[in-house]
Amino acid sequence: MRRALAALLAGVAFGLGLAMSGMADPRKVLGFLDVAGDWDPSLLLVMAGAVGVYALLWRRLTQRPRPWLETQFRLPGARRIDARLLGGAALFGAGWGLAGYCPGPALAGLGLGNADLRWLLPALLLGVWLAGRVPAR
In whole angstroms, what separates CA 45 from the centre of its chain? 16
Is pLDDT of 135 > 80? no
Which domain, by its residues, includes 88?
A: 2-133
> Do 116 and 29 touch, CB atoms closer than 8 A?
no
Q: State which H helix or E strand residue 5 sits in.
A: helix 2-21
Q: Which of left, alpha, beta for 22 (phi over 0: left; psi -120 to 50: alpha)? A: left
> Do 130 and 80 touch, CB atoms closer than 8 A?
no
What's the pTM value of the predicted model, to 2 decimals? 0.67
Instruction: Using CA atoms of 73, 77, 82, 86 in order, give the dihedral in degrees to the nearest 10.
Output: 0
In angstroms, how far is the first alpha carbon of the chain from the final one? 36
Length of the chain: 137
pLDDT in tens, 3-29: 899 999 998 888 888 888 888 888 888
pLDDT in tens, 58-73: 888 888 899 888 888 8
Tell me the pLDDT band of 137, cut-offs 50, 70 and 90: low
Number of domains in the chain: 1
* Alpha-carbon span 51 to 53, nearest angstrom: 6
In whole angstroms, what separates CA 7 from the centre of its chain? 15
pLDDT in tens, 75-84: 888 888 988 8
